[in-house]
Amino acid sequence: MFRRPLTIALQLLLPFFLIAQSSGSEDNTADGKDLPDIIQQVVGKKNKSADTVSRYQHIRIGVLPAVGYTLQTGFATVVSANMVVYKRRKKDSLLPSTVIASLSYTQKNQVIFPFQTVIYLSHNKAVLISDWRFLKYPSFTYGLGMHSSPSDQNLLDFQYFKFHESVLFQLAPQIYAGGGYAFDYFWKVKEVHPHPNPVTDFEKYGYRDHTISSGLMFHLLRDTRDNPINAYSGTFTNILVSPRSKFLGSDASWTTMHMEWRGYFRFPANSNNILALWSYNWFTLGGRAPYLMLPSTAWDKSYNTGRGYIQGRFRSNNMLDAETEYRIRLTKNGLLGMVLFGNLESFSEIGTFRFGSVAPAGGLGLRVKLNKYSRTNISIDYGLGRQGSRGFFVNLGEIF
């Protein structure tokens, strides 16, 4: 009964997956099967181009239609593209470069458009890092500190443009330092349905319908991951200090610092299972950041910290976050996997570095291999946190 409509739908999606695979290679990063292989079996078409590409072809491209879901966005329709550029020949030393972009429209009338690149240049002597994005983003905030409750939610509507651009230079193999420019502009900021309390934390902190944050960035980066989209081994370390200055057009002068570390280890050592660790810490070193630029749950670069809580659930001027994930291969061909995850995050009392309580969360998830060449997975997770927080989180790609 449903076979013909399903076949038609798969045929409509097939060209996207063919694009994703035709630039791949058949080296050891393209092991097993992925969702396009299964679709091709159902539809009865074979991706000949994927069978005939050169063994050493160095570009992997994915153009992927998808559906996402988080507590903050509801269901989202997503068109995502990613490109990974590996070394052209085995003797080359070029590190993998990535370009990631997507366009999302959500059930809650949000528009999300990020464009991010990490491009290695001149035989790894320099790296160009870009993070641009546009958001039209009605979303909830819950006040400041760790003592708020879900009933404190307050709906803010705003639009946001981000332009961060850095150039880093090699100090030693896989270690880079450099700087760049950061510009963050929020406008049309308003409370849609103000909380019945007399004054919300948003209003206490200092309500403005637009803010401009402009300043420099200073980076220290070390990346030894074998694949930046879905690592099986290696570590990633990033320290970023960004002073914002009135001299450069910022509304106020303040300084923020990010300290991030990720590690990936086969566990047990002779298995295909991965133990992944993530530490993400975000501090306000001086001055007074705009409310929407304060450290907050799931406001990291990929919107993923604190899985188990809605984005923006906790917010203050300083944040500590630690996460772990055990990734288990369920099928020999790599098509299906599962994860067990847990995390802890804590936010300081506003205006201080005093950390009190912590917010634990954890859960489990399913992984479906969408593109075996770039190792892109569909991630479907269910997380639980404190005060009854719970829900599904569906993403294109790994959480970290």
Dihedral sign for Cα atoms in the order 111, 191, 69, 129: positive
- Quick check: 210 and 200 in contact, CB under 8 A? no
DSSP state letter for 12: H
Residue 361 belongs to what domain range? 57-396
Cβ-in-10-Å burial (0-12, 13-18, 19+) of 72 comes to buried
Inter-axis angle of helices 35-43 and 3-22, to 10 degrees? 130
Q: Establish if 31 belongs to a structural domain.
A: no
Q: Establish if 51 belongs to a structural domain.
A: no
Whether the model pTM is above 0.75 = yes
Q: Write phi, then psi, for 300 (nearest 5 degrees).
A: -70, 180
What's the number of domains the chain is made of? 1
Using alpha carbons only, how large is the chain's radius of gyration in Å? 22
Q: Establish if 8 belongs to a structural domain.
A: no
- Quick check: 282 and 295 in contact, CB under 8 A? yes
**Dihedral through CA 208, CA 214, CA 219, CA 221, nearest 10?**
60
d(CA 64, CA 104): 12
Amino acid 53: pLDDT? 34
d(CA 60, CA 30): 10
d(CA 399, CA 393): 10
Domain CATH number, residue 168: 2.40.160.50
* Matching residue, tokens 């002068």: 253
CA nearest 31: which of 250, 335, 254?
A: 335
Per-residue pLDDT of the chain (400 residues; tens, 9 = 90+): 433 333 333 333 433 333 333 333 334 446 688 888 888 888 776 554 343 333 345 777 777 787 888 999 999 999 888 777 876 655 566 778 889 899 999 999 999 999 999 999 988 899 999 999 999 999 999 999 999 999 888 899 999 999 999 999 999 989 999 999 999 999 999 998 766 667 889 989 988 899 999 999 999 999 999 988 899 999 999 999 999 999 999 999 999 999 999 999 999 999 999 999 999 999 999 999 999 999 999 999 999 999 999 999 999 999 999 999 999 999 999 999 999 999 999 999 998 999 989 999 999 999 999 888 778 899 999 999 999 999 999 988 899 9
Q: Establish if 52 belongs to a structural domain.
A: no
- Quick check: 299 and 342 in contact, CB under 8 A? no
Give pairs for 133-138: CB < 8 Å, separation 24+. Answer: 133/160, 133/161, 133/162, 134/159, 134/160, 134/161, 134/162, 135/110, 135/111, 135/159, 135/160, 136/109, 136/110, 136/111, 137/110, 137/111, 137/112, 138/108, 138/109, 138/110, 138/192
Q: Establish if 272 belongs to a structural domain.
A: yes
Q: Establish if 286 belongs to a structural domain.
A: yes
- Quick check: 81 and 101 in contact, CB under 8 A? yes
Q: Establish if 35 belongs to a structural domain.
A: no
**Residue 206 contacts by C-beta under 8 Å, 6 or more apart in sequence?**
288, 291
Q: CA angle 157-161-167, nearest 5°?
A: 150
Q: What is the DSSP string of 18-65?
A: HHHHHT---STTS-S--HHHHHHHHHT---HHHHHS-TT--EEEEEEE
Q: Establish if 10 belongs to a structural domain.
A: no
